[in-house]
Amino acid sequence: MRRFPASFLVTLIWAAAPLAAQDFVTLKGHGGPIMDIAVSAEGQVATASFDNAVGLWRGRAPTWLDAHAAAVNCVAFDGDDLLSGGDDFAVIAWREGTPMRLGYHKGKVTDVAVSPDGRLIASASWDGTVGLWHTDAPERFRALGNGGLNDVMFSPDGATLYAAGAGGAIIELSVEGDTQRPLVKHGFGVNVMTMDPAGRWLAYGAVDGVTRVVDLPSGRERADFTLDRRPVLAMAHHPATGQLAVGDGQGYIMILDTETWRITRDFRATRQGPIWALAFSPDGKVIYAGGLDDVAYAWPVALLDEYDPIQGPTRSFQRDAENMPNGERQFMRKCSICHTLTPGASRKAGPSLHGVFGRRAGTVPDYLYSDTLTGSDIIWDEDTIDQLFDLGPDHYIPGSKMPMQRITDPQDRRDLTDFLKTATN
């Protein structure tokens, strides 16, 4: 695969000085939850976010990579190249700072992985297929019959793929042939997995809170670290130090020693919300994490027990519904994760709603609209906003970036428009 030129890398590679001092670090700037984190061998950090963007971090300053038309779910480095996949079904390779769309699935892309020799890219999708992308050959899609897929990875020799899915199985399939077999039949959806680089074991995390390790190639159970916390949502492995980090839906990061298979740390990272993303620094001394906040965090592993859980701001959709008028409640639950009410640009997935009444759709400056809304004749008012949520964005403005949602109760829609009339003025 092509590589970024040295001149481009100089502007992006993050010297690890702040982390060498064993500081707690925050990477701020995204406009939505952090869905994935990747760290290159040189220490470059990449973040994927619900705000449709990939962030590349130099110190605490981001460079934004904007090409996805919906939330970005996954990022991975291939040497100096970067790959991403998102809710827009797209798999994108970032080369010399420019996006190159490798192609599309028929459902959201949940993971991307690179073969050990760098020749192949694999992607997992909720359409139930693994995509295989090659620089010199057409893409291939392998349907697995395992429900929507959540994770994919190559074996150390690159000859085998492992795919985990909502159907509760981990499927082993040959890269070049058509053979496949279930390695694990769990019963509950498998969200994440990782593997020993020597190919001795595979660890996975599931919806029911299971963190389990199985031998390869037999699939026999080696260790079980199931706790009363569910679901397991993130994993990161640092082979050189033998650390395996596991993140769950209740905000904990558990770190295992893969030589003794014991829990070495069990850290309450956040007071609210899940851990969706984990990654180690190249030396294994720092763990990065992301979740419901718009911020990625990094802690020195050796000092985890000395930190209190993060108490980030309460997200608008988590506020007590009983303390809000109905119109505000509808906005907080349906709109606030993507839209602000204040003027000016933001990093959120959607444009600001400030001044929306009487505004032509697709005209907020500096926001990258879909082709559907660019040049639209829609004028936002009580009637058009009511129709938007009555029919749903996928029917009222098909092809837009807005996620599929409806407000079926006419009174709820009236209360929402009444709230927006005041709040956006």
Average pLDDT over residues 298-309: 94
pLDDT of 12 > 80? The answer is no
Phi and psi at 111, nearest 5°, equal -160, 150
Q: Mean pLDDT across the chain, nearest whole number? A: 89
> How large is the average pLDDT for residues 16-33?
73
Q: Quote the percentage of the chain above a pLDDT of 90.
A: 70
Structure tokens at 41: 């061998």
State pLDDT tens for residues 158-212.
999 999 999 999 999 999 988 999 999 998 999 999 999 999 999 999 999 999 9
| pLDDT, mean of residues 73-90 | 94
Answer whether residue 359 shows pLDDT above 80: yes
d(CA 16, CA 48): 20
Fill in the DSSP letter of residue 333.
H
Which of these ranges, 219-223, 279-283, 286-290, 327-331, has the smallest mean pLDDT? 327-331
Rounded to whole angstroms, the Cα distance separating 12 from 63 reads 8
> How crowded is the C-beta side of 57, counted as CA atoms within 13 Å?
26
- Residue 11 φ then ψ, to 5°: -80, -10
Compare 135 and 112 and report the one with higher pLDDT. Answer: 112
The predicted structure's pLDDT at residue 318: 52
* Euclidean distance between CA atoms 303 and 296, whole angstroms: 18
pLDDT band of 320, cuts 50, 70, 90: low
Calculate mean pLDDT across residues 11-27: 53
pLDDT of residue 5: 35
The answer, as to whether pTM is greater than 0.95, is: no
pLDDT reading at 399 higher than 90: no
Strand segments, DSSP code E, in 175-227 are: 180-185, 190-195, 201-206, 211-215, 221-224
Return the higher-pLDDT residue of 254 and 399: 254
Q: Does residue 234 surpass a pLDDT of 80?
A: yes
| Average pLDDT estimate for 2-11 | 32
The per-residue pLDDT for 96 is: 78
Q: How far apart are CA 171 and CA 124, in angstroms?
A: 12
Contact 26, 296 (CB under 8 A): yes
Distance (Å, rounded) from C-alpha 423 to C-alpha 420? 5
Q: Is the pLDDT of residue 297 over 70?
A: yes
Mean pLDDT of 283-294: 96
